[in-house]
Chain A
């Protein structure tokens, strides 16, 4: 099973979400 591929922008994610009838999950994270 492949890992989840995190997109880097809403511009990339939203068309894909619309096409695949999915929602957009946005994760704001601090790596430290």
Chain B
């Protein structure tokens, strides 16, 4: 990550805008793996200032996937706080930054529909958003999580 991903300008810009980054070398501080309940590196954990965890990722990520993980962490922070107005705004950036990422774009579409629904209390937003997800990524786990809405 230090060699390939972190030097990328889009990665650095996104970190600076939304995060205060902390690095722990697990060889120098082996107790850190236990402290964060992680047995593998690299592990990326996103917490808020109170220490509440909003997302976790194991293994190497290239720049595109790293930014996708980080924008989803930023989105999940708003969702976990039930700040639906912020969540709706953040889904717009998440949709832009995860476009073409077959793992993260379906997840973004899922949460985008949820945020639209919760921000407006209009169930149409949920149904339409999940239909788009199921149409575009029918085999994804996120589409499978949404399928039940067709039976309501």
Contact = CB atoms under 8 A, between A and B. Distances in A.
Interface of A: 1, 3-10, 12-18, 20, 22-32
B24 A28 contact: yes
Nearest to B19: A25
Nearest to B69: A25
Interface string B36-53: 101001111111111100
Interface of B: 1-2, 6-7, 9, 12-13, 15-16, 18-27, 32-33, 36, 38, 41-51, 54, 70, 73-74, 77
Nearest to A10: B22
B24 A7 contact: no
Contacts of B41: 28-30
B21 A27 contact: yes
Nearest to B28: A31
